[in-house]
Amino acid sequence: MPGRYRLPMPEPRCDEVATVATARPPGAREREVARALDTAHRATHGHEALNAATIADLENPSPASVSVVAFDPDDRPLGLAHMAPHDTLQAPRLAGSIVLASDAGPVVAHRLLDGLVTACADAGGGRIVVWTQGTDDDVDRAAMADGFTREREQLQMTVALPIDESPRWPIGVTVRAFVPDLDDDAWLAVNNRAFANHPDQGSWVADTLARRRREPWFDPAGFLLAFDARGLAGFCWTKVHQHAVLGDTPDPVGEIFVIGVDPDHQGGGLGRALVVGGLDHLVRVRGCPTGMLYLAARNTAALALYRSLGFHVRRTDRAYAIEVAADRRARS
């Protein structure tokens, strides 16, 4: 059945917002709007409109999740912003995405961001981090005007598989697949050490891992663990996207979802071996013709490693952050 919301792409810019609706938690209408915006965004930009965490939360929202939708006078969606609680040890924090219709401008972005800030303030305040898939000048202008900061940029990188390299494991290292429950504690410890300064990955708890393990894409066979005599030294967790996530190919895409090396084991070539081993699994076992990963733009060492393996930057995503007090007048 086709959705109610259809998104033609008229030439004129549209900032005439008739209504802004906030839903806590989001329901069927917000999911339908998100799907319509995503379809139009893919047609225009060649990639998804919302990040994976937002899409997953829209399908199964927590009670504290919030969606804000702007409509024009004809009830056509002009954009959507969404946020949900972050499931780590971070201080109270909400993370999400924002997307505009192709003809929407910075006024729409402002109304959406203002809706998120208001909802956060009404719930007691906290830190909001909002992502755009790709950079959006209209969102950027609105976010800067509204007191957000550009927190960071993330690169989406891809590579054709197979690559012309086999994994060369350091002497004394053995590799096996992750065993749920058995390996949880050791993995959490190494992950949090490896990403101690990362705002998203470095403060996972057992429930964070359990939620990822319940995702339909989770496959322990593609979660590689590398051990030496001292214990777990590093890991490469892969994920296969069966649906088209890259606009120019309908084929499944193999993602290096998370990769990390314990700080005590860095510098010995284990990181490169884990990348190559993960890619080898994705093409040899899962049949993926394309590999993909996401990387903080400021991580120049990892960027050089991935480029040496044939990866290239396909897209740059951007995160905006703001601290919101319960009293909005105190926000900064």
Residue 139 or 49, more confident:
139
Cβ proximity of 239 and 134 under 8 Å:
no
In a domain, 322, yes or no: yes
CATH of the domain at 210: 3.40.630.30
- 230 and 267, same domain (yes or no): yes
- 282 and 247, same domain (yes or no): yes
Cβ proximity of 34 and 50 under 8 Å:
yes
- In terms of average pLDDT, the best of 86-90, 92-96, 282-286 is 282-286
- 147 and 166, same domain (yes or no): no
The pLDDT of residue 129 is 94
Closest CA to 236 of 251, 253, 252, 219: 219
Cα torsion angle, 180, 94, 40, 153, sign: negative
Please state, for a pLDDT cut of 90, what percent of the chain lies above it. 73
- 183 and 102, same domain (yes or no): no
160-178 average pLDDT score: 97
**Could you tell me the pLDDT band of residue 11, with boundaries at 50, 70 and 90?**
very low
- 113 and 200, same domain (yes or no): no
In a domain, 122, yes or no: yes
**Which tens digits make up the pLDDT trace of 37-48?**
999 998 888 888
Say how many domains are in the chain: 2
Cβ proximity of 120 and 330 under 8 Å:
no
- 27 and 140, same domain (yes or no): yes
- 192 and 273, same domain (yes or no): yes
Cβ proximity of 219 and 252 under 8 Å:
no
The pLDDT of residue 89 is 53
Cα torsion angle, 206, 208, 209, 213, sign: positive
pTM over 0.75: yes
In a domain, 240, yes or no: yes
Question: What is the residue-averaged pLDDT of the chain?
Answer: 90
What is the full DSSP assignment across 181-248? TTSHHHHHHHHHHHTTT-TTTTT--HHHHHHHHTSTT--GGGEEEEEETTEEEEEEEEEEE-S--BTT
The pLDDT of residue 87 is 66
d(CA 275, CA 252): 19
Task: Give buried/exposed letters for 295-324 (b at 16+ CB in 10 A, else e).
Answer: bbeeeeebbeebeebbbeebbebbbbbbbb
- 208 and 230, same domain (yes or no): yes
Task: Tell me 170's DSSP state.
Answer: P
In a domain, 207, yes or no: yes
- 112 and 208, same domain (yes or no): no
- 77 and 138, same domain (yes or no): yes
**Could you tell me the pLDDT band of residue 202, with boundaries at 50, 70 and 90?**
confident
Residue 176 domain boundaries: 162-288
- 203 and 325, same domain (yes or no): no
Three-class DSSP category at 85: strand
In a domain, 173, yes or no: yes
